[in-house]
Amino acid sequence: MELLEERIRKDGVVKPGEILKVDSFLNHQMDVELFNRLGEEFKRLFADRPINKILTIEASGIGIACIVAQHFHVPVVFAKKAKSVNLDGEMYTTKIESFTHKRTYDVIVAKKFLTEDDHILIIDDFLANGCAVNGLIDLIESAGATVEGVGIVIEKGFQQGGRILRQKGIRVESLAIIESMDDRTGEIVFRH
Ligand code: 5GP
């Protein structure tokens, strides 16, 4: 998506450790007009899928997922990072390793919000090694619901997450795919 690539080139900052900082428009300060364009594009890409719910993970996925959901006219559920897992049987739980924080979280969704009748679109800001998306798929499968697809704003194509998900037959649509980036020069190359 040209508009998004231009914005990443203009405002993205490449950090050491293969981190792209986009906190001026995506995951700290949020450009809601841009999110709306991303939502339009996801709707176009997944128009053939019977999506009735969007699933994301807190925190940075929530804002994007909410604007995207307005284009699908469906609710958003966000998986919560739990400090302690309450094993009362009312929650689906999984573990997700955070790429940016290098720690593992227990992540939960209430069973009442994810059922076998659900056809889910997963939305997240970044795809790196795929831990977050795989954790969300695990929750969806625990509920017997269907993964209709995965919509990602920025995929770092030089990390393995996207390749592994596509090899499993999961439909992954990323609005920008970064082929390479260099924290010394700041250069970002996109895959087309
Ligand atoms: P994964 O679970 O695919 O390894 O990493 C994806 C998650 O880590 C995303 O939810 C995102 O919050 C965070 N993340 C991964 N790479 C980056 C990055 O380069 N920049 C930022 N801002 N977040 C990232």
The distance from CA 168 to its chain's CA centroid, rounded to whole angstroms, is 17
CA distance 154 to 92: 27
Confidence of residue 3 (pLDDT cuts 50, 70, 90): very high
Percent of the chain with pLDDT over 70: 98
Confidence of residue 99 (pLDDT cuts 50, 70, 90): confident
Q: Which residues of 65-96 are buried (b: 16+ CB within 10 A; e: fewer)?
A: bbbbbebbebebbbbbeeeeeeeeeebbbbeb
CA distance 174 to 82: 28
Look at residue 152 in the predicted model and tell me its pLDDT.
98
Task: Say yes or no: CB of residue 104 within 6 Å of ligand 1.
Answer: no
The distance from CA 89 to its chain's CA centroid, rounded to whole angstroms, is 26
SS (HEC) of 110-154? EHHHCCCCCEEEEEEEEECCCHHHHHHHHHHHHHCCEEEEEEEEE
pLDDT in tens, 55-91: 999 999 999 999 999 999 999 999 999 876 666 779 9
Enumerate the β-bridge partners of residue 109.
92
pLDDT in tens, 11-61: 999 999 999 999 999 999 999 999 999 999 999 999 999 999 999 999 999
Could you tell me the distance, in angstroms and rounded to a whole number, from the CA of residue 43 to the centre of ligand 1? 23
Task: Say yes or no: CB of residue 126 within 6 Å of ligand 1.
Answer: yes
Task: Say yes or no: CB of residue 131 within 6 Å of ligand 1.
Answer: yes
Asked if residue 127 has pLDDT above 80, the reply is: yes
Where are the domains positioned within the chain? Answer: 2-190
Residue type, 122: I
Decide if domain 2-190 falls under CATH 3.40.50.2020. yes
Look at residue 144 in the predicted model and tell me its pLDDT.
98
Asked if residue 142 has pLDDT above 80, the reply is: yes
Which ligand 1 atom is at minimum distance from the Cα of 61? 10
Task: Say yes or no: CB of residue 105 within 6 Å of ligand 1.
Answer: no
Confidence of residue 102 (pLDDT cuts 50, 70, 90): confident
pLDDT in tens, 145-190: 999 999 999 999 999 999 999 999 999 999 999 999 999 999 999 9
Look at residue 100 in the predicted model and tell me its pLDDT.
83
Helix residue ranges, H only, the chain: 2-11, 32-45, 60-72, 131-143, 161-167
CA distance 35 to 24: 13
Look at residue 98 in the predicted model and tell me its pLDDT.
87
Burial status of residue 36 (CB atoms within 10 A of its CB: 0-12, 13-18, 19 or more): middle
Look at residue 176 in the predicted model and tell me its pLDDT.
98
Look at residue 162 in the predicted model and tell me its pLDDT.
98
